[in-house]
Each structure stands twice: as C-alpha cells, then as structure tokens.
Chains A and B, each alone.
Chain A
C-alpha cells in the first residue's frame, strides 16, 4: 500500500465536491455573493497550510467513513447547510466520479494530471481572492515536489491503493449512465479505442531482431481495439495544457445529478456485514481525524450572515424520500467506537473538539470520548 495516496485522494474528491456544489448553488438560484462566499470559505479551509501539512504526511488511507467525516466538516465550513440525505448523495457522486477518473487514467502517472485539472478549476472559482490563489499554488508546488519525480512503479502502487479504496462501489450516476460510460449494473465501461497512453505504442506489431540488434522480421496482427497514437503529453507545469479531460468539470452543462442507490448489486449486501466487534483501527482513525480537523481553521460566520440549506435533490420531498429509502449497506454510519470503554482519554482530542463551532448549546457529558461520538452522530 502506498503511503503517499491521501493527498491525491483528498484533493480530487474535494475538487469533485466543489464542482457539484457549484452546480447545485446555481441550480437552486442562490445569490451570487452567497454562492461565492461558500466556495471561497470551503476552498480556503481545504488549502489551509496547517491542514495541507497534515495531509501530506506519509500515512495509510483510512476508511471511507473516516474520510467522509472530513468532507462533512468541510462542506459545513461556511454558511451553507446540508441534510444527511444530500450529504450522502454528494459523497456518492464525489467518490464515483473520482473512481471513474482513476480507472480511466491512461498511465498511472496521469492521476497527477487529473489532480492538476481539479486545481486549475479551483483557481477559476476563486479568481477574486489572491490570498487563496496563493494557497492553491503552494499546494501545486508541494504536489510537484512530492510526485513530480516518482517512478512509474510508485504510481502503479498509488493507483492500486486508490482502486482498492473504491472497491465494490457501484453506485449508478445518471450523468455516467446517460453518457454510456457506466452500465446499468454500476460498472464502468473501459473504452478500447482512442489514443494510447503517452509512451505506449499502438498495439498490432511484432518485431524480431538478430543478435546484432537489427530488425529481421515484422509481423502485424489485429489487436481488437481501435487505438491511435497519443497526440502529445499533458503538461505537469503550474500552467499548461493537461490534454487529459478527466478531472475537468463535467457538470458545467446544467445537467441534473441523480444517483440510483436502490437495486444495488446483491454482492454488496452480502459483503458488508456489520460486526459488533470493536474496530481495532477505530483509534487510529480517530487520531487521524483529530489531526486533520485540528488543522482545519473553520471561520466563524462574520456579521449577521444568515445561513441557507442546499439541497442536492430537485425537491425537498425527493430529499426526504431518498433519506428513507437509502439501502442499509450504503449508509455512511458513524465509526462505531466503544468510547466509554476506551481507556486512554485523549486530552489533545478533547481540546480540538472544544474549538469546533457548535450551533446548538454544548452537551454536558461525562466523558470526553462521548463528546466526539455525539458530534459524529450529529453529522
């Protein structure tokens, strides 16, 4: 497992989240200044230096549930609120989109170009804020520093680590179904035509050489696909033509985004058995979350800026319906920790929890562990 995967996972999922939020803000006719504020706040929290420092530390990937808690917090970094059903749908769309992008990357290294596509678009969202622009460019530089020189074998490991993270996720996304890049069983269609990856030859040729290295025979064969040569390599510079379209905003046309969570494949149901045994990784995940969220500087809303609720569905009724009919195996339940039996009270964690913005009055509870559990219950 590669320990360099988290920054790529986080930034790309974050990028997809911003595409979706931007589209929904426009679809719901949220006033321009409010919409810009929301995006600015989220982006500025995402690219906060302390947060990025934590992110770039070599570490294993944690569970989808743990990561979702971070995005939950991120989505609520501003005056916008999301109901559970909308948050679920948002996360579904984000993860399926990035899964698609990773799967279809021609070369394992191209996941970096996908990340750059997301960052390029993010810079477009914050054109009027030079301070945040600078933060994004800093992250760009960090990405280049960490990944720029990695050999192909390392990228292959990163690719495999990412694909394992997305294993068994087959949520159908209407935009993918319409474009026929996803089948009705939720599996993605792998194209067998188009340009080959940069550095790969178009299949179909066998060449034979003698001892001196001279070509002595050539045989052509039918490959089965319809491939052509790659026109050029995408740019890994701060500015440049990425060539690759994966990671660019597919929601920029005003297309409704629906997911179909009913009728998920049977194998999914049989796989996720909820065990009552405590998760040995729970403590690690809690610590990871604490560190990551500790680096998040959530701004308190300045002035009498009223919040608003964003709906990922077209009507409130639809949102309610989605919440009721979400299949059990796809619910992003809180991390199940026997906090009251947890012997080690984490002082630092408690302090960080105290810094979190709380809209309701703070709960009085006996143990610090209970606080975190309760907070997660609320998300």
Chain B
C-alpha cells in the first residue's frame, strides 16, 4: 500500500518534471563557420549562405532566419534562388543538386528540402562530363542550366529535376560552329559561366574556361555569337541593357564586348586595372547602371601579384571614385542590392561574404560607409576567451549601455539594413538579457541576447589602461595619400591580438549598480563604472602579492602589464577606476563582485584576494599554493603558449609588412610556414601519446591544487545560528573550501572604517576534487538572492529564519552541508557513478509551463561528457539529463554559459553560439514567415495575418517570479589554455565509442 502511494507520488513528480524541463536546441547565433557559398533573392530579399559542413542558412529582416542541413556532409559550393519563387537550389561538393523551399506551416515558414538530383551522363562517360561547374536558374523559374566540367550544358526542368535531353547544349554543337582560326581545335575546357540576357530570356551566354564565350539561343538552339577571348575566363556579366558583355580573366584583365548580330572578334574595351606588373585573376565582375551618371563597376581580385597578391579586395569604381576595399579574409562571393520594386533601380548596397564575416557597404552615402549588420556578426573578430550572461537587465542600465554603444557606432551608415525579406513573428522578448563575451585582445563585447538576433550593443576595450606592445602608429586603416591601389580596410575580423596578456578571462556585471569587473590573463582585475560622458581618469593600481612570503618559487610566466600612469581619456561607457594586479601575474581563475558591499574577490592559481573598491584597498590576501606544487609557479603552459605567441607574431609581422614593407613577403611567408610546421609537429606529438590512463587517487601534492576555482559572497550564518554576517567563500582545485567572515563598517562609515575578514571555516573535501561552485541556500532551500536584488524590490528577501545550507559543487559530487556548523547533510555523486565530471554549473529558475505561479530553482550542470543535467534544490536529486554537446567538442563544453532562466549558450565554432534551453517556459527561437513574391514584383504589403496566438503564450514571463529565484553564482569562462589543451589531447586519444548514459540516482 505504501509502495503504491509512493509510486503515485513519483508519477506526479514525473508529470511536474515534464512541465518544468524540456530540452531544446533552439538556434545558432553568430557567423557561420567556413562559409562557402552566397546567394541572394532580390524578390524575396533573402540572402542565403552555404557552408563547408553542408549547412544552408537563410537570412532576411532581423529575426528572420532559417537553417537547413544537407544529409550529405559535403560543402555547399553554390546557392541559387529560383527567380521570383521561394525555392532555392544548392550545389554540393559531391556534385549533387538540392532543391529547398520555404513552406508555410501554421502561419510560419520553414525551410524544407524537397528534391535532390545528380546529373547522369551517358553510360561509360567519364565523371567530368557531368561534374557541374556552373548553374543558371533561368528567369522562367522552370529551367535550370547546368554547365559541366566536360563543357556540356544540361538543361533540367525544375522543381521535378527532369532532364530535358533534347535541349542540352553539347560541346560538339558549340565546337562545330566556332571559327577554326580561334581555337585551332583546342579544348574549350569546362563551362565557367552561364548568364542569361537580362532583356531576352532566350539568350544565354556560355563562358568556357579557355576564354571562348558563346551566346546561345535556347529556343532556336543555335549559337548567335562567338566571343573569342583568349585569356582564361573567370566570370561573365551581361550589362543590364543586354548590349554588352563583361568578361573577367585570370590575368587580372576584364573586357567589354558588344553584343551584336554578327561575330565581332574585337573586344570593345579591355583593361588590366592594376596592370603593368602581372596581376591576379579577377574572379567576379559586375557592372550596374545608375539613373544618371556613370555605372558602378565592381570586381573582386585583380591585384598586382607580387606586391598585393595576398590581399582580399573588391574594387568599386563609380565615375571618378575608385576604392579597393581590403577585406580581412578570403572573399567568398558578393552581390549588390538595388533599389526599386523590380530591383532594377540604383545600386544601394554591396554585400560581401568573406570567410570570417559579412560586410555590407552603403553605396548611396558619401564615403561608402559600412552598414552595421544586425546578425551574422563575427563573434570571433578577436577570439572569445570567456562569456558571462546577465538576465533581466533593468531598463535604465540597458538604455545607458545602448547609448554608449551608439557613440561607438558613429562611423556606421545611417541606412537601415537592406536585407529585409520575411516577417519576424516572434513575440517580443519577455526580458532584456545581456551576453558579455571577453576576447583575447582585451575587449568585452556586450550583446543583446534577448531575442533571435544576437545584436552587438557595446564594445569595451581594456587595452587603453595599459602600455602594450602594440605600436600606436600601427593603424591599418590609414592609407597613404595617393597610394595605388587606393586601399580601404573594411571589416572587423582581427584575430591577431597584440598582447595575449590582455585577454579577458572572467567577467562579472552587477546589473543594478552598473559596476563591472573584468579580469585577465596577466592577473589584472579592472573595476569599471558606467559613465554616460567621456572622462579623463587616472586609474589607481594596486599590486597584490598572492604568494604571501611563500618562498622558493620562481614565476616563469609572462610579466605583469604596465599601467598607464597618466590620466587616460575614456569614452562614454564603462570606465575603469581601479586596477588590481596579482603577483605573480597568473591568469585570474575566479572573480566575483558584490556591489552592495563594494567588494570584489578574485583568485588565481596561487591564492585569492578581497579588494574594497570603495576605499581602493586590499582587505584580504590568502595564499592557497601548495609548497610542493612546482607547476603552478611556472606560468601557464609556457611551451604551448610560446608557439601560439610565435604564430601570432608571425601574423602580426605579415600584417605590418603589408602596411609598411612590401618586399619582405617571402620572408614572412616562410616564417609562417615554419611556425605552422612546428604547430603541426606539436599536434602530431600529442596524437602519438599512448592511450593509457593512470589510476591514481588525487593527493594534496597534485599540481594546481591551490588554484582558486570559485568565489562567492553570501550573507549567512557562518559562526552562530542567530546572527547572519557577510561572508566570502572560496573553493580550490584541491577540494578545499575557505569561508571568511566579513565585517563591514556601517553605511555612514563605509568610506573610512576598514572592512575586515576573518577566516571562519576551512573544509577539505575528502575526495579532493576541484570545487567548481558554492551556493548558500536559505531556509526555504532557495539560493540567496543577488546583491541589491532585494534592495531593488526585485527579489523576495531570503528566509533568514530556517537554517541555511551550504551547497558545494565539486567536479565529482554535489554536497549539502548544514550551517553554521558544517556537517554533511546530503550528497549526490556523479563521477563515481557514471564517470562524468562537472564542467559548468549554474543556478536557474524553471517556471512551469502549465501554471504561471509555480516554479523551482534548480542547478544546471554540464559534464565533460557534454550532457546537461538539472539537479533539484535543496535535495540534490537528478531531475533530467540530455545529451547536449558532443563530448569530443572540448572547446564547446568549455565555452558553455548558463542563464538564470534555464537557457545556455556554447560555441559550436569559433564564431557561432548555439543556444539551447532546458526550460519549458523560456525558449528563444526564430519564428518567421516568408511569402512567395507576387510576380508583379510589388512588395509584400498585404499578407494574411498569421496566427500569432500560438507563439505568444510560450515565452510568457512573470518578471517578479523569475527575478526571485534564480541565482546565478558560478563563474564560467574558458579554462586556461593548458586545461583546454589537455582536454583536447584527451579527446584525441579517447576512443570513439558512443556512451549510453545511465543515471541510477
């Protein structure tokens, strides 16, 4: 009977779990990794990007996003929208063609693959005969012309992919009609280009690799004109009036040919724009007319081979204006957006997809400024080193950060984003969320992470506080007067940090007070305050010796950063007012801020400290270093770092040389090669390490036991059960927890009386696993609220009546202790049971999907196996678990950050965040509608009102409730390099077996 009742309770709990938790990989933010193809539909106003991994992504107006993935794991080489339709065709590396469509479903559109096709040649023909090299989506919307490596053009009817054999244009048909004096029986080579006459859809031009171009009439099935270019052909473009053809060639020349009734053997005009010396190929050329004045001529490449052969340029020529846009990485493709309902008006924007970013240039504003992209922003413009998420930002702070960001964006074009296709039907985000990313170059970027678009709000640079290696005159954007070609740097991708010590490792923002603290690689901790005005500040530095007299050690790592002693002018935004520098200058591994007490705590591999930023005074320094730990003294992984550094320096040298010295290319190139070779050797060495693991209990002698992993402030019962006091908690890699009682002077004496700290407790976990999280739970078992949360009436005051509990999360276990007398109460073992280890933890509030007023706090856990778990509080019971990240994806796991509402982000590539959700209530995903364009071309004004009701209920949110409970405590950021590398090595050695996770807890 009893058993039966318990069963009933369990099923009730199971139902509750279903209402609270659901795993959802909602969407991706950022820039697609390794893009390989670009397409644009002027009628839909959607752009499409294909990637090397076979993904196809469509973007329209901000919030309108679609993603599809080809089953084949092959690179997308071409993307073509069917004119005036919602279909698009992709060509993959494996020679397969795929038809995709945007289908309406429940008032929303979704991207679906509706067909696939591979050309089959005659039996016995070599594969080159059917290898597709050029695709033309005919304006009729019914034909697809496929040019192949063998030189044939196949005609295929779509959407059914029916081969129209009788309409094929074989090489023989062409070759027979070519004047003998042109080719002399030479091979015409593959079909390089297929273009339709803009005024006569029956005419297409077929450009062959050897240079010959043939205008073919599809109806009459005969060649109208032969254009006998002699250089290798790169691209062909038909001017809008259909009177001229532009061809670009591999020697850096382009030619203009008159389209006439009879064969003309003379080119009308030929030019090598950057000539005299040999030039690289012009890979694509486009000419667009303007209503009045000269046309726009745009082409990519064509740079002088010897001096600028390594640049990635698109040249834009308009009348007297001539600019060579110098991009940060290889150009994949570009297109021009034109005004007007028929998309035939003035060119308005140039959209360029390069390997690492998307750049849009406003062609109608003087100076051709850049239009800021609302999505597809390169997160990795400098490598991401850590991230920090802050939920539910108060409006005031939001507006101030936004305003500060506006100042920084003054150089962007004022024009709205030109890609406007589709309708964003997602409800307004229920709250304002910020994602902060720390970067290798010492910047912190603030992203609006509330909705579908991860929009850049503000960028903070910390480099100005320090003297760095960077040469202040080393400004890449400065083109010298009269320089030829007239370069202009565009794009923001710049992964080469001048000084790796600037890298940001930890971030903590107080959303109520606007105080921000960031900590970096060289033991620097900056306190910043939001200021709406630019101001000159002298930053006060405080050096903190974490060794505390421990002797016999030598720091072999980097030196500490030099602070600028003179006052520095800081722009509006977050301005530093105090700097703490740890000595030895090891990477900061833990950081926390208490804005109510005006204290920060920070830790490195040597110890931790407490700093009073009101009095700018150090309160406490504690050395946690194990005297026998030699490794911790040597600085983080000097060997690997040095390779990284040398690589970085080689790159920097290259970039410098581009600007100043033009003759040293060979030199730097070989250096780069050497560096690459060294790196490869290093990696090979790693792979060869024997796949063997030592079984050894952790001992106090292990290296880095003193590394501080987590710091936490709590107002709780530390010494006796009747008086709560402020306290600081620190957890180390060696499984040790220190608790300090803090004594704060009264408010009126806060500025002059000292803050004091006294060690109150020290807990050594017997299993000695690294402590990754510490939380104090109040009498109701809820985590204590954030500082100032209660003061702002945004959280229920914690229950101070019942007894508090201490939750210590180690990599292996979750353990609850009573307070003030520390005795173990409950625990949950993870590693001992399934062999996974905790990598990331966070507190989250889960609202029920069924009722508004029910919710629970839970602990979000990510393991080294890539699984996410929810652990209940305060009873530390496993609730649910889902596989989330591949366990081989070490950097993905290391980059994961949880939100307070049960969502999370992790890097799926250096440039993309995947967003997932464990909450049934908080899901952010694109919801959008794209409708087939009316063939008349008028913009889609009147659309059937979609049923938005279904979409709104989902993200409903009770601000108060959500504020209440979630308590985010854990620091999350990339571990230091060594850890990551070790992990990489581990995973390289690790077997490939799939793991079935079982949780018998």
B is bound to A: no
